[in-house]
Structures are given as C-alpha cells and as structure tokens.
C-alpha cells in the first residue's frame, strides 16, 4: 500500500475509534461529570493563521491552527461550557469552591502577532475572554522564538543531510552533548518537527544556541521570514479587550535545564517587565513546553505568581494552583482523514478520552 494511502487509512481508523469512544454514552457521561467535578477545561494554543496548509509548509505545524478551525473549536466548546477568565478560575480554586457548571478558558502562549490579527477579532465578536502568556524579551522585537529558529534549521538539515540521525549525532557529539541520552526513541527522527520537539526540552538556552550555530555552519541559514511578535500597544489593546496577560518567561527558556539564577531571572524579570508596562499585578504564568520541577515551582512561588499552567495532568501537591492542567491544541488535534474538523476526535480530546492511554513525557524531575 502506498505511504499516502496507508496514512489515510490510519486517519480513518483514528476517527472511527474516536467515534466509538465518544458514542459510548456511559463513558461520555462519566467524562463530562469528571470534567465538571475535577477541574475547568483550559485550552492552550500558540499561533492562529489564515491558511494552515500554506503556513505549515515553512513553519512548525504543531504551533499552528487556522482561524476557521480555531472558530470551530470555540463554537463546539461553547455549546457545553461557559467561557470564563483565568481570574475567575483562580478565585474558585483559592476558595475551594467547585464550579456548578462546566467552564472553559482560552489561552495562548509565546505572544505571536497573528493571535492579535486572527484570534482577537473572533473572540471579541463572540464575547469570549482569553489569556496571552508573553515572552517579554521578544515584545516589539524582530527576533526569533528559539523553537522557531531551531525548527527552521532542522528542517533544512533534514532536507540537506543524507542521514539526518548520524549527522545530528555528530554535531551534538562535537559539542560534547550526549545525543544518545536525548534521542532514546528512534521515532524522534521521523521528521524535523519531532527531532526539534525532542531536543529542545533537553537543552539549556546556551546549548541550544551552540547547536543552532553548528547546524547553520553545516547547512547555511536560508531563512528569511521570522514570525512576528506582539508589540506593547497590541498587548495593551488586548488587555482592554478582555485578555488576561501573563508571563511565559523572558526568553522562552526550558526552565528545568537552567541554573537557579537563570530560572529566577526568567521568572522575576518577565513579571517585572509586564507589571511596569501594564500598571497592574501579573499573577499568571505558563511553563514553556509544560516542563517544570519542584525547584522551578518553588521559585515561581517566591517570585509572587498566584497561578501557573502546565500541559499535562502532573500536579505539585504543595502548590496545586501553580500546576494547573491545560489542553494544548493545534490544527491536527481534531481533524479527520480529509483534514476537516471531527467532532468525535475533539470530543475525546476535551473529555480526556483521547488518546486512550495518556502518557506524559515532559520533564518533572
């Protein structure tokens, strides 16, 4: 069977399985009640673009969702959940008062300008509050998000190198970075996206910079378009439009891989910059990549944050308000074999029924 046909059949099987799970009334009722009783639904996105297929040819696909797909997500959620602010969720958590109805919140990470251009109009039209977690050093600057630049370089390397795995191992070995410890699973080399996603959480910012310099020396740069970040005036307008503004560090560092001094600077420095600009306390934080350790959570508490958001079910018992679970989504989170929105797949995502066996591979120790 040709690879494209096999992939299409895998998507058909996925949707059929999701439909069977979502259609089982006992499971669906149990999941809905569990979601009501345990926690609110907090959706997490990164970039919202006009045309997913066009942008995904050059940008990291897992960071993208089209405006039309985003609106379908919001409409589907809105039929069952009431949209609330992160502050309202936080107030209930601090008071130990569960919601009496299903509630949901919408969040965005990194501070991309296309959220302002494509998501803000949708949310304003529908009267839905949201939150943006900002990488403060990039606001108003023509600089790369570190994950975007590494992905571009890795994508060019995969297209240039005849044996990407061997060449990348050679690059890391020359930098005295233990490649075998990072790439324990061969599936990490299925694509430049999976290789990038595997490598980033395992490296400090300094190591990422060294890796990018080495790859660029091998394959050249060859990238011109840098995804634009928000400006401060845009952030002020979003705040006036009902957005909660939170921190996502100064530079998007993967905090468990950094020293205690760097972690503190990333947490305290970003909070201070936002508070100076907004003239109000900044109480919310999102962990880059969803990665955290107890030491990072301790530092977050000392920095004065009240609420922080992860990307998995792991909780820190000492600080439940600083390890609040989110559901991170992109275009591929809810599609069928034809690339169209599948209510069955999305239903399973929202109600914790998909994937059937959830497993977290993020760093927490």
127 CB-side CA count, 13 A: 2
Percent of the chain having pLDDT more than 90? Answer: 73
pLDDT digits (tens, 9 = 90+) for 347-364: 888 887 765 445 677 777
C-alpha closest to that of 193 among 311, 60, 56: 60
Percent of the chain having pLDDT more than 70? Answer: 87
The CA-atom distances, in angstroms, between 259 and each of 66, 144, 204, 243 are 37, 23, 9, 32
Phi, psi of 305 (to 5 degrees): -75, 145
Q: Evaluate if residue 23 carries a pLDDT over 60.
A: no
Phi, psi of 224 (to 5 degrees): -120, -40
Confidence label for 254 from pLDDT (cuts 50, 70 and 90): very high
Strand partners, 42: 105
Confidence label for 212 from pLDDT (cuts 50, 70 and 90): very high
Global confidence as pTM? 0.90
What pLDDT was estimated at residue 251? 97
Strand locations in the chain, DSSP E?
41-45, 47-49, 64-66, 82-83, 103-110, 130-134, 243-247, 284-286, 307-309, 327-328
- Choose the weakest-confidence range: 21-30, 99-108, 292-301: 21-30
What pLDDT was estimated at residue 357? 46
Q: What token pair was written down for 318?
A: 């000492």
Phi, psi of 278 (to 5 degrees): -90, -25
Burial bucket for residue 297 (CB in 10 Å: 0-12, 13-18, 19+): buried
C-alpha 317/C-alpha 294 separation (Å) is 10
**Cβ neighbours of 179 (radius 10 Å):** 16
pLDDT digits (tens, 9 = 90+) for 55-98: 999 999 999 999 999 999 999 999 999 999 999 999 999 998 88
C-alpha 58/C-alpha 148 separation (Å) is 10
What pLDDT was estimated at residue 359? 65
Out of 210-224, 272-286, 314-328, the most confident range is 272-286
Confidence label for 15 from pLDDT (cuts 50, 70 and 90): low
Q: Evaluate if residue 25 carries a pLDDT over 50.
A: no
């Amino acid at each position: 069977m040709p690879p494209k046909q096999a992939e299409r059949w895998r998507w058909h099987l996925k949707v059929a399985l999701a439909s069977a799970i979502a259609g089982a009334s006992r499971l669906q009722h149990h999941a809905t009640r569990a979601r009501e009783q345990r926690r609110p639904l907090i959706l997490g996105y990164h970039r919202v673009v006009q045309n997913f297929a066009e942008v995904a040819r050059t940008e990291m696909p897992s960071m993208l969702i089209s405006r039309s797909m985003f609106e379908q997500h919001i409409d589907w959620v809105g039929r069952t959940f009431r949209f609330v602010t992160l502050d309202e969720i936080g107030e209930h958590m601090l008071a130990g008062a569960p919601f009496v109805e299903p509630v949901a919140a919408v969040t965005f990470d990194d501070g991309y300008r296309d959220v302002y251009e494509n998501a803000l109009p949708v949310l304003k039209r529908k009267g839905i509050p949201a939150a943006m977690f900002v990488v403060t050093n990039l606001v108003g600057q023509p600089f790369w998000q570190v994950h975007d630049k590494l992905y571009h370089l890795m994508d060019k390397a995969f297209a240039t190198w005849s044996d990407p795995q061997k060449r990348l191992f050679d690059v890391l070995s020359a930098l005295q970075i233990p490649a075998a410890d990072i790439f324990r699973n061969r599936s990490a080399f299925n694509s430049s996206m999976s290789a990038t996603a595997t490598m980033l959480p395992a490296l400090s910012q300094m190591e990422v910079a060294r890796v990018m310099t080495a790859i660029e020396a091998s394959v050249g740069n060859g990238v011109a378009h840098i995804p634009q970040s928000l400006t401060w005036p845009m952030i002020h307008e979003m705040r006036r439009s009902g957005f909660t503004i939170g921190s996502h560090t100064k530079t998007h560092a993967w905090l468990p891989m950094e020293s205690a001094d760097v972690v503190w600077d990333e947490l305290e420095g970003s909070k201070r910059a936002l508070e100076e600009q907004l003239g109000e306390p900044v109480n919310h934080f999102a962990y880059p990549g969803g990665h955290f350790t107890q030491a990072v959570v301790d530092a977050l508490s000392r920095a004065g944050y009240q609420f922080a958001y992860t990307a998995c079910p792991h909780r820190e018992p000492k600080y439940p308000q600083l390890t609040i679970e989110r559901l991170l989504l992109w275009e591929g989170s809810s599609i069928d074999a034809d690339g169209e929105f599948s209510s069955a797949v999305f239903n399973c995502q929202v109600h914790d029924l998909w994937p059937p066996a959830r497993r977290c591979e993020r760093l927490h120790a």
